[in-house]
Amino acid sequence: MVVRASSVIRCLLTVAAVLSLLMAGAAAAGGGLSTSFYSKKCPNVQSIVRAGMASAVAAEKRMGASILRMFFHDCFVNGCDASILLDDTATFTGEKNAGPNANSVRGYEVIDAIKTQVEASCNATVSCADILALAARDAVNLLGGPTWTVYLGRRDARTASQSDANGNLPGPGSSLATLVTMFGNKGLSARDMTALSGAHTVGQARCTTFRSRIYGDTNINATFASLRQQTCPQASDGGAGDAALAPIDVRTPEAFDNAYYQNLMARQGLFHSDQELFNGGSQDALVKKYSGNAAMFAADFAKAMVRMGAISPLTGTQGEVRLDCRKVN
């Protein structure tokens, strides 16, 4: 029997293509995130998280901003791995008491409550990291912001790093150059950074985080500075004055919209780092665009959240699926 060379080549190419698909499938199953990760294992997870967040935001709108911030503080410290949720123990120091988090990050009990509901539906299946990613998306949407498809399949860290939390989270006194560098270190562009900063359209901040801005910065609206000085004393009192809260967005403090950028153009950024985005630098033009185009901001914010949610996830057999978000199994 004569076998044509062309037939042999076609056969080899077919085998190669099949093997390539099989290998790609195995790689996808072993690592990386997917939009359908729980479609068979826990099909109700998204509705459970949504219901939990709807309840939390209905009780206190500020909680939406708090959960969004928690996700940011998780992802920027060794990836989106729920390390921020681990409690300190006698033999373990977590991230909750790092400078940027202590007496500041809040809403842990909301994630606990959602985790309990998820466990009741799908035991030992859904990671705390994925619950936090979904909760952050729902928080934004429940406050009137955009929604987006969350890629899932993250695993939970067995470790945490207080020192990394202290070193990887940009502070409210950051310069534009520092912001661009710190976001860039996480694979996020300057545009991503400016869009993600729009999260400050919701939430409240303690006097200690903006005192130097309202008393020391010159690129600030005088009336706005005076307003904030009414509840934030110039000298630290170590108590109620330091802890006094102010809305980050003076215009629409509980609505997720583009008013944050309008504030910046009016020199009403609450943090020094906020106003750095509109202060004669590289991001001025984008701030102007976002201030006048809510749809553009919403679209860019959603894309940037997906990118942030993909920072160094643990996947496959890495990490674990915690049964209790506050402690390793």
Whether residue 174 is annotated as binding a ligand: the answer is no
Q: How far apart are CA 132 and CA 138, in angstroms?
A: 10
**Beta carbons within 10 angstroms of residue 153's beta carbon:** 21
Residue 73 annotated among the catalytic residues of the structure = yes
CA distances from 12 to 21, 230, 240 (A): 14, 77, 75
**Which of the following is catalytic: 37, 45, 70, 73?**
73
Whether residue 201 is annotated as binding a ligand: the answer is yes
Whether residue 66 is annotated as binding a ligand: the answer is no
Whether residue 112 is annotated as binding a ligand: the answer is no
Whether residue 107 is annotated as binding a ligand: the answer is no
Whether residue 252 is annotated as binding a ligand: the answer is yes
Burial class (CB in 10 A: 0-12, 13-18, 19+), 228: buried
Whether residue 77 is annotated as binding a ligand: the answer is yes
What are the residue ranges of helices labelled H in the chain?
5-30, 45-59, 62-75, 108-121, 128-142, 162-168, 176-184, 190-196, 207-216, 222-229, 240-243, 259-265, 272-275, 284-292, 294-308
Rounded (10°) angle between helices 207-216 and 222-229: 140
Whether residue 87 is annotated as binding a ligand: the answer is no
Whether residue 49 is annotated as binding a ligand: the answer is no
Whether residue 138 is annotated as binding a ligand: the answer is no
Question: Could you give the angle at the alpha carbon of 85 between the alpha carbons of 146 and 247, nearest 5°?
Answer: 50
Q: How far apart are CA 55 and CA 110, in angstroms?
A: 9
Whether residue 272 is annotated as binding a ligand: the answer is no
Residue given tokens 């209905």 in the structure block: 58
Q: Are 159 and 320 in contact (CB under 8 A)?
A: no
Q: How far apart are CA 301 and CA 323, in angstroms?
A: 31
Whether residue 253 is annotated as binding a ligand: the answer is no
Residues tagged in the binding site annotation for heme b: 200
Residues tagged in the binding site annotation for Ca(2+): 74, 77, 79, 81, 83, 95, 201, 249, 252, 257
What residues are labeled active site? 73
Residues tagged in the binding site annotation: 74, 77, 79, 81, 83, 95, 170, 200-201, 249, 252, 257
Residues tagged in the binding site annotation for substrate: 170
